Structures are given as structure tokens and as C-alpha cells.
Chain A
Amino acid sequence: TQLLEQSPQFLSIQEGENLTVYCNSSSVFSSLQWYRQEPGEGPVLLVTVVTGGEVKKLKRLTFQFGDARKDSSLHITAAQPGDTGLYLCAGIHTGTASKLTFGTGTRLQVTL
């Protein structure tokens, strides 16, 4: 089983704080994606990264793919209550056909 470890598992912060979520594996990814999931709904795609060292920004969210394509991070600047949710990283490992392997998830709560 190819594991994707996310840390931290839970994060409770106040509005305006910054945070970083990490996603690590011992295997190389051909691509990695980040999703956000609300309770009772399916995950929604935030970003896809495919090149080692790639950095992508989505408003206050910054995604980085590790140089070796084994890890990734999600940084949120000035968190808002609307950022509350379950953040999932998911990767397609090199050598697998197409299926995404999901991480364990980081549950973020942003309070006023």
C-alpha cells in the first residue's frame, strides 16, 4: 500500500492566522492534487501540480510540489472562516495507471 501522510490531522486557528499543511510519501508522484471537502459532499479540486518544484497560487492559497515529487505543501495566508473544511492531498504514483491515492486528510477549523 502506498501511503500518503498528511500533517497535522486537525488544526483549529483564528481568523487572520497563517497555516501550512504537509503531504508526504516515500514514493514518487507523477502528479499531485489538493482537494477541499465539506461535510456530506464530495471533494472539490483546488489544484493539480505535475512538475517537481512547481508552485501554484490560488488567491490566499499557495501550493508547492517538492523537487523530488514525493511531497507537497499547502499554505493558507490570513485564514477566513470560509476556509473551514477537510483538506485532502491525492497523488498518482509513478507506475500506476490512473487512480488517485488520497492522504489521511487535515481538518481545518477557522474561528472568528
Chain B
Amino acid sequence: DTGVSQDPRHKITKRGQNVTFRCDPISEHNRLYWYRQTLGQGPEFLTYFQNEAQLEKSRLLSDRFSAERPKGSFSTLEIQRTEQGDSAMYLCASSQDRNYGYTFGSGTRLTVV
């Protein structure tokens, strides 16, 4: 296992378009997290899965955002009707226990033009 993989690495989209990002966590990890990071800031929590169950969602996650983890393995994050304010780095992380460190992917950098 080579770590957490995210695809694509970069995405440029026009305002109003829908985008979908994929995250493949470390296979033994049952916890998966999505974060968003803007320039000069620390990552902000978006949502958390334990296996296939989405256990927590941030208020940052508006109705235009949806995340799934259908079989408890990979996860997708979809943003509908993108806005310029959605431009950010979207980070996925996985862990095996609440007190273990997270392993982050390299992120997907979204630019909405």
C-alpha cells in the first residue's frame, strides 16, 4: 500500500460546473476524512466516515457538497454548481484509530474560474 491517493491532483473548472474528486485511503484504515485548505490557513474539517457511514459533517459543507464512501473503501466528494469561493486544496486523510495520526493524500487543488 503506497498511502492515500487522490485524483485528480489539479482541477480547473468554470463557475457553475459540477466536479467530483476521488480518494483511495490506506486499505486497513476504516476512518476517512475530507478537509479543505485555503492559502495560508490550516486545513478545515469537512466530513468524516467510519467504514461506509458518514458520521459527521461540518457546517462548511453546504447543500452543494456531497460525499460518499459506498463500500467503506474509496470515497468521492462532489461539488455541484461550483462557485469561486470553492477554490481551495481538498485534502483526504485516513486513520485506523481516533488517537492515531492521519495519513493525508497530496490533495486536489480546485480552481474555479
Q: Do the two chains belong together in a single complex?
A: yes
Closest to A31 in B: B99
Determine whether the beta carbon of B98 is less than 8 Å from that of A41: no
A-B contact count, CB below 8 Å?
A: 67
B73 at interface by CB-CB < 8 Å: no
Residues 55-113 of B contacting A (Cβ, < 8 Å): 55-56, 91, 93, 95, 98-107, 109
Interface residues on A, range: 20 to 34
User: Which of A13-21, A58-66, A76-84, A101-109 contacts its partner?
Assistant: A101-109
Residue of A41, A42, A47, A88 with most partner-chain B CB within 10 A: A42
B31 at interface by CB-CB < 8 Å: yes
Determine whether the beta carbon of A42 is less than 8 Å from that of B99: no
Determine whether the beta carbon of B41 is less than 8 Å from that of A43: no
Residues 78-105 of A contacting B (Cβ, < 8 Å): 88, 90, 92, 97-105
Interface, chain A (partner B; CB < 8 A): 4, 30-31, 33, 35, 40-45, 47-48, 50, 88, 90, 92, 97-105
Q: Given A4-B42, A97-B98, A102-B43, output 4 extra A-B contacts at Cβ < 8 Å.
A: A30-B99, A42-B104, A99-B48, A100-B33
